[in-house]
Amino acid sequence: VQLQASGGGLVQAGGSLRLSCAASGNIFSINAFNWYRQAPGKQREFVAGITTDGSTYYGDSVKGRFVISRDNAGNTMTLQMNSLKPEDTAVYYCAAKEYTFSRWSREYNYWGQGTQVTVSS
Protein backbone atom coordinates (compact mmCIF):
# COMPACT_ATOMS: atom_id res chain seq x y z
CA VAL A 1 0.00 0.00 0.00
CA GLN A 2 1.31 3.42 -0.97
CA LEU A 3 -0.03 6.69 0.38
CA GLN A 4 0.48 10.11 -1.17
CA ALA A 5 -0.47 13.16 0.87
CA SER A 6 -1.08 16.59 -0.62
CA GLY A 7 -2.79 19.91 0.02
CA GLY A 8 -0.73 21.59 2.70
CA GLY A 9 0.19 25.24 2.60
CA LEU A 10 0.12 28.57 4.35
CA VAL A 11 -3.15 30.04 5.59
CA GLN A 12 -4.20 32.77 7.99
CA ALA A 13 -5.86 31.97 11.29
CA GLY A 14 -9.55 31.33 10.79
CA GLY A 15 -9.03 30.04 7.28
CA SER A 16 -9.45 26.59 5.78
CA LEU A 17 -7.32 23.99 4.06
CA ARG A 18 -8.09 20.62 2.53
CA LEU A 19 -5.64 17.76 2.72
CA SER A 20 -5.87 14.67 0.55
CA CYS A 21 -4.31 11.24 0.85
CA ALA A 22 -4.37 9.05 -2.24
CA ALA A 23 -4.01 5.32 -1.62
CA SER A 24 -2.80 2.75 -4.13
CA GLY A 25 -1.78 -0.89 -4.13
CA ASN A 26 -3.52 -3.57 -2.09
CA ILE A 27 -5.92 -1.22 -0.34
CA PHE A 28 -8.56 -3.94 -0.05
CA SER A 29 -6.85 -5.12 3.12
CA ILE A 30 -6.99 -1.68 4.71
CA ASN A 31 -9.66 -0.91 7.29
CA ALA A 32 -8.52 2.30 8.93
CA PHE A 33 -7.03 5.54 7.63
CA ASN A 34 -5.76 8.18 10.02
CA TRP A 35 -4.26 11.63 9.93
CA TYR A 36 -1.52 12.54 12.36
CA ARG A 37 0.45 15.71 12.84
CA GLN A 38 3.75 16.61 14.36
CA ALA A 39 4.88 20.08 15.31
CA PRO A 40 8.55 20.89 15.95
CA GLY A 41 9.64 19.62 19.34
CA LYS A 42 6.35 17.83 19.97
CA GLN A 43 5.17 14.26 19.81
CA ARG A 44 3.13 12.98 16.91
CA GLU A 45 -0.55 13.64 17.58
CA PHE A 46 -3.65 11.81 16.38
CA VAL A 47 -5.86 14.17 14.36
CA ALA A 48 -8.64 12.13 12.78
CA GLY A 49 -9.47 8.66 11.51
CA ILE A 50 -11.99 6.89 9.33
CA THR A 51 -12.76 3.22 8.81
CA THR A 52 -14.19 1.33 5.86
CA ASP A 53 -17.63 1.26 7.48
CA GLY A 54 -17.59 5.05 7.63
CA SER A 55 -16.97 5.48 11.33
CA THR A 56 -15.03 8.64 12.11
CA TYR A 57 -12.84 9.62 15.04
CA TYR A 58 -11.29 12.94 16.02
CA GLY A 59 -8.68 14.25 18.38
CA ASP A 60 -10.02 16.57 21.04
CA SER A 61 -8.11 19.55 19.71
CA VAL A 62 -9.75 19.41 16.28
CA LYS A 63 -13.23 18.15 17.11
CA GLY A 64 -15.86 20.40 15.57
CA ARG A 65 -13.37 22.07 13.21
CA PHE A 66 -11.98 19.24 11.08
CA VAL A 67 -13.90 16.72 8.99
CA ILE A 68 -12.47 13.47 7.64
CA SER A 69 -14.04 11.67 4.70
CA ARG A 70 -13.36 9.08 2.01
CA ASP A 71 -14.47 8.82 -1.57
CA ASN A 72 -16.78 5.97 -2.57
CA ALA A 73 -13.98 3.96 -4.12
CA GLY A 74 -11.98 4.23 -0.93
CA ASN A 75 -8.94 5.46 -2.80
CA THR A 76 -8.77 8.97 -1.44
CA MET A 77 -9.10 10.24 2.10
CA THR A 78 -9.71 13.92 2.71
CA LEU A 79 -9.24 16.11 5.76
CA GLN A 80 -11.19 19.36 5.61
CA MET A 81 -9.67 21.75 8.13
CA ASN A 82 -11.74 24.78 9.11
CA SER A 83 -11.27 27.57 11.64
CA LEU A 84 -7.57 26.95 11.63
CA LYS A 85 -5.46 28.17 14.52
CA PRO A 86 -1.73 28.84 14.75
CA GLU A 87 -1.45 25.80 17.00
CA ASP A 88 -2.58 23.64 14.08
CA THR A 89 0.76 24.35 12.43
CA ALA A 90 2.53 21.03 11.89
CA VAL A 91 3.55 18.44 9.37
CA TYR A 92 0.51 16.29 8.64
CA TYR A 93 0.82 12.60 7.80
CA CYS A 94 -1.71 10.09 6.53
CA ALA A 95 -1.45 6.49 7.65
CA ALA A 96 -3.28 3.21 7.12
CA LYS A 97 -3.61 -0.20 8.77
CA GLU A 98 -5.46 -3.46 8.44
CA TYR A 99 -8.03 -4.78 10.89
CA THR A 100 -9.28 -2.62 13.73
CA PHE A 101 -9.05 1.13 14.17
CA SER A 102 -6.54 2.54 16.62
CA ARG A 103 -5.40 6.02 17.58
CA TRP A 104 -1.87 4.79 18.23
CA SER A 105 0.54 5.66 15.45
CA ARG A 106 2.82 2.73 16.22
CA GLU A 107 0.08 0.37 15.03
CA TYR A 108 0.05 1.90 11.55
CA ASN A 109 2.46 0.35 9.10
CA TYR A 110 1.66 2.36 5.97
CA TRP A 111 2.56 6.03 5.88
CA GLY A 112 2.50 8.82 3.38
CA GLN A 113 5.07 11.56 3.24
CA GLY A 114 4.24 14.57 5.35
CA THR A 115 2.66 17.76 4.10
CA GLN A 116 3.34 21.05 5.86
CA VAL A 117 0.47 23.13 7.20
CA THR A 118 1.34 26.58 8.49
CA VAL A 119 -1.26 28.83 10.10
CA SER A 120 -0.24 32.44 10.62
CA SER A 121 -1.75 34.61 13.35
- Terminal CA-CA length for the chain: 37
Instruction: Determine the pLDDT at residue 72.
Output: 81
**% of the chain surpassing 70 pLDDT:** 100
Instruction: Determine the pLDDT at residue 36.
Output: 98
| Amino acid of residue 73 | A
pLDDT per residue as tens digits for the range 48-95: 999 999 999 999 999 999 999 998 887 899 999 999 999 999 999 999
Evaluate whether 42 touches 61 at the Cβ level (below 8 Å): no
Instruction: Determine the pLDDT at residue 43.
Output: 96
Instruction: Determine the pLDDT at residue 62.
Output: 98
Instruction: Determine the pLDDT at residue 74.
Output: 78
Please, which residues have CB within 8 angstroms of residue 55's CB and are 6 or more apart in sequence? 101
